[in-house]
Amino acid sequence: MKRFLSLSIALVFALPAGASAKRLDVKEITSNSVLTDAEKGIVYGADNMLDEQVATMWVEGEGSAGLGKYIEVQFDGDVELAKIRIWGGCFIDQEFFERHNRLAQIELKFTDFTSQKFDINDEMTPQWLELEEPKSVDKVKIYLRRVHEGNTWNDTAISQIQFFDKGGPTEWIEGMSATASSEYPDENNAYGAHLAVDGWLDTHWVEGAASGDGEFIDVDLGGSKSLSKFAITTGFDTTDGLFQGNNRAGKVTLAFSDGSTQKFDLADSRGLQVFDLKPVTASKVKVTFSGIRKGKTTDDLYIGEVRFAP
C-alpha cells in the first residue's frame, strides 16, 4: 500500500489560558513578498496562513530573511482586535522548524499610525500576542523585524495566524486528547488518534484494522463541558484524488459520558461538516464510524478532525 503523507507530526499544542476569545473573520490576507517555487509550481502565499493546514505556509520571497516586508490583513468590517495567535515558522516537524527562519520580532502597524512590537520565543508552539489594549480596526499590517535564523535556509515562514477579540466563547474546545480502537502502524506515529484533535485539517488519524467500520476514537474533552456543536472531516481530504482513493465514513455515532448518544449522517465531501447537538454535558465522547464508503486505492478510513464547541 502506498502512503502519500510523509509528515511525521507529533505536535502537542501547549494551549495557554488565553484561549477564551472569539475568532475574528479575515476578509483578505496579502503580503508584499511571496516565495514562488516555479519548478514545483508552489506559491507560498499569505492565504496559506488561514487554511488550517500545517503543510502550507506563507514564506517571504526575498533573497534575505525578508526583514521589513509585511503582511496586510483586511478584516470583515470593523473589529475589536485584542489578541493574535501565531505559528511563526514551519510547523511540519521540529527538523523543518529549525531549518527555516522563525519569527523573533514582528511589529503591528495600524491605520491611525500607532504601532506595537512583539517578541516571539523560539519554540515550536503557537504563541499568543496581546495588544496593550483592544483596538478597533478594519485592517492591520504586520512587519517582519527580526528572525531566529534557520540552520539551512534563509527563508522566513509563518504557518498559521488567528485574530481574536477580548471576550466571547471559544469557537472549538481546545486541548482535547484522543485514543482510538486501532491505529495504522507507523514508526513516526504519523497516523495516531491525536491527529484527529490537533486542529490541523491536513493531519489524519488512520485506523489500522479492516475498512474502518465500527472503529472508534475516544475523545477526552479535558473536563466536563456543555456541548452545542460537533464537527468532523472524513477521508484523506487534502485533494480530490486522495479523497476518492481512501475510505470515508458515512455515519457517525457519538456516545457521551452521560450515557446518551446522538447519530449523524455525513456527506461524502471534503472539508469540515458541522452539526448542531442536542445540548449535552460530557467529559468524554466515543466517536464510532460506520456506513463506510470504500476508497479506490486503499481500504483505510481517514479522519482529519473531530471537534466540539461549547
Is 178:221 a contact under the CB 8 Å cutoff?
no
**Burial of residue 229, with CB atoms counted within 10 A of its CB: 0-12 exposed, 13-18 middle, 19 or more buried:** middle
Binding characters for Ca ion, 257-286, by CB under 5 A (x = yes): ------------------------------
The Cα–Cα gap between 10 and 93 comes to: 8
- Counting contacts by CB under 5 A, is residue 200 touching Ca ion? yes
- Counting contacts by CB under 5 A, is residue 154 touching Ca ion? no
According to CB under 5 A, which one of 31, 48, 156, 234 is a site residue for Ca ion? 48
Residue linked to cell 479492516: 210
- Counting contacts by CB under 5 A, is residue 233 touching Ca ion? no
- Counting contacts by CB under 5 A, is residue 53 touching Ca ion? yes
**Burial of residue 247, with CB atoms counted within 10 A of its CB: 0-12 exposed, 13-18 middle, 19 or more buried:** buried
Give SS3 for 146. strand
- Counting contacts by CB under 5 A, is residue 234 touching Ca ion? no
Q: Closer CB to Ca ion, residue 11 or residue 137?
A: 11
φ/ψ of 272, rounded to 5, equals: -75, 130
- Counting contacts by CB under 5 A, is residue 247 touching Ca ion? no
Shortest reach from residue 49's CB to Ca ion, in Å: 6
Give SS3 for 242. helix
Residues numbered 93-152 forming contacts with Ca ion, rule: CB under 5 A:
none
Give SS3 for 257. coil
According to CB under 5 A, which one of 31, 56, 234, 247 is a site residue for Ca ion? 56
Task: Point out which residues bind Ca ion (CB under 5 A).
Answer: 48, 51, 53, 56, 159, 195, 198, 200, 203, 304-305
